[in-house]
Structure 1
């Protein structure tokens, strides 16, 4: 039986991967440090058929022992949060970049024999998504919007050649990456370190560039997590979701069960030395996310999204996945549609603990000068 080591396997994404692997007959060991920002205790959803080691992926001795017993490494452990990464710089680089480097150092110098490595990467490393100029019918890769443009409330990108408003198009893996946060840089580091070292030592490796993941088990107490969880926490506490800009910015929201399946397919496929997008290919506006959650929680008569018309430094406007390479390399196609996925999130969320700490986190961003007003 193939033995898989899943780092971060007690977390939101990792725990779903563990369930997927065990359902498919794999032997799974999890290493997780149950970081306080996410877990206040051992989660009740842990799979009883997995072995759990409560420890830190930065612990060289521990990771050496665990890797020596593994056939496959599934590396999910990561510090998550774009805004927070901009003022907890050392922490994010240590937990993401350095820890991954240490794991790879162990694999190389302890001569760990692995059949495959799968590492969690992120669409955040792209910066802005891909665009098309409708006037010239050419692809454009605009940089971040400037502060003066944002202060003027000109939210959409304009063509640098003709001034026309650019149209977002699916973002392929070939798009130049312009990471706009410490978090994004550290995720790119995890991907590039893994692929580079595994290539050199002939270890098959796949990096999965996750788009915006949502679903059950995502902490509703963590204000630095995904927007679906943050909005859910606000709504459950009878507070309106606060939306930056005008709410029409779009992202690609993929259900966590699809992400778990993509990880298994990456392990089982012949794909090697490649990074692939894991998304749906369908953009959804942030305003639509907020409105959908309000309706599913049955609070449309009491709440409506609050459009802030201010902005966060480093935020992008649009980004959604081109899924062609995932289909070609992994045989992956998303199966959970947006409506069903959001219903699953809310059904779970009704009974989940939800401490709304958004205003505290927002105040931190303001204090650090990371929020601007138009």
Structure 2
């Protein structure tokens, strides 16, 4: 059945790729996006690869989720809303607090308010959540069993001790997959807003006759990821440094890890959540289920680029960063029949091939670090 799908943030990294998949499958898509300059540049029609990829295949509406009028104008005539629009920088969220809360929480509230107080045809709402809601994630203790450590202490990291601890636990703790039943304890404003977003959608939507799904995306990467936005993740940042022949400053000891999931896999999981009812009413992890360290990321990029740059393991650290986290994926398999298909090695190769075809542009990474140092969030 042909669906009419509204994708907020539809010109973004995930949104544009999802839009292309939906259109290819025969669905009608409206892209609703503010075309934020931090992501798209000052002239999106020229500077944004992502915007250019959707403008000719979908109905594009420029507007903001912080404007109730804009939302009210764009919601009618759609069967499904995929809510991806959000401010996404974990570090930036710790000092741009009002903007993150206004966009992520306030924007979601406005969408739900419009749905609750107007006529519409929406029957499903998929919201993008994040692994950031889990904080440090799940571990096993030899003497306590399953534990969920709190954020690491500044004084410990200043002394070069980056591993997580737990009161009364015999060390070391063993990292295990963080599944959807794990404790919710975000360590950043961004994580708090994503948890609030998914909670509002999962709570309010059913009362309106709308089936909700929250997808807890892990670290998404791949072609189309911004190479200039310093808050998009280390693959983009490191790739820019490698192309410029500059040194890579590795925070902590380089052994911190994340679950990197390729964009095509994320789109596939999201598409399945849209067209099937298996995950209705649930929050579901979307990841590879594999922990990859920063050191392994650099090695993969060096191999894919066919060149290396100096690497300095500095011991710098950011307050609010987590040590490790990777997704438990059993629920995605059970409810969406979704399994990540693209290995990290293959995904990095595809990403680097795309990067090599892009013009070299200086990013804002160093200025973002200076901003965090000035606020005493980067040590």
Q: With structure 2 as the length reference, what TM-score do the two structures score?
A: 0.94
In structure 2, the residue matched to 1:7 is: 8
Cα deviation, residue 137, structure 1:
7.1
Separation in 2 of the partners of 1:62 and 1:356?
A: 31
Please list the CA deviations of residues 15-50 of structure 1 after superposition, one character each: whole Å capped at 9, or x if unmatched.
010011111111111011110101122334423221
Report 1:227-266 matches (<5 A): 227-266=234-273
**Could you tell me which of 148, 155, 158 is aligned with 1:141?**
148
Report 1:16-165 matches (<5 A): 16-40=17-41, 41-42=44-45, 43-44=48-49, 45-47=52-54, 48-133=56-141, 135-136=142-143, 138-165=145-172
Cα deviation, residue 162, structure 1:
4.0
Separation in 2 of the partners of 1:236 and 1:62?
A: 40
**Could you tell me which of 304, 308, 316 is aligned with 1:310?**
316
In the alignment, structure 2 segments of 5+ residues that lack a partner are none
Report 1:323-342 matches (<5 A): 323-342=329-348
Separation in 2 of the partners of 1:71 and 1:203?
A: 10
1:371 aligned counterpart, secondary structure: coil
Cα deviation, residue 296, structure 1:
1.6
Q: With structure 1 as the length reference, what TM-score do the two structures score?
A: 0.95
Separation in 2 of the partners of 1:53 and 1:129?
A: 38
What stretches of structure 1 move > 4 A for 4+ residues in a row? none
Task: Answer with 193-202 or 44-53: which moved more.
Answer: 44-53
TM-align CA RMSD: 1.4
Separation in 2 of the partners of 1:318 and 1:62?
A: 39
Asked if structure 2 preserves the Cα contact closer than 8 Å seen for 1:126 and 1:178, the reply is yes
Please list the CA deviations of residues 30-74 of structure 1 after superposition, one character each: whole Å capped at 9, or x if unmatched.
011110101122334423221111222222222212211111001
Separation in 1 of the partners of 2:325 and 2:266?
A: 18
How many residue pairs end up in the alignment?
A: 369
Separation in 2 of the partners of 1:110 and 1:191?
A: 21
Task: Answer with 109-118 or 271-280: which moved more.
Answer: 109-118
Separation in 2 of the partners of 1:305 and 1:296?
A: 16
In the alignment, structure 1 segments of 5+ residues that lack a partner are none
Cα deviation, residue 112, structure 1:
2.3
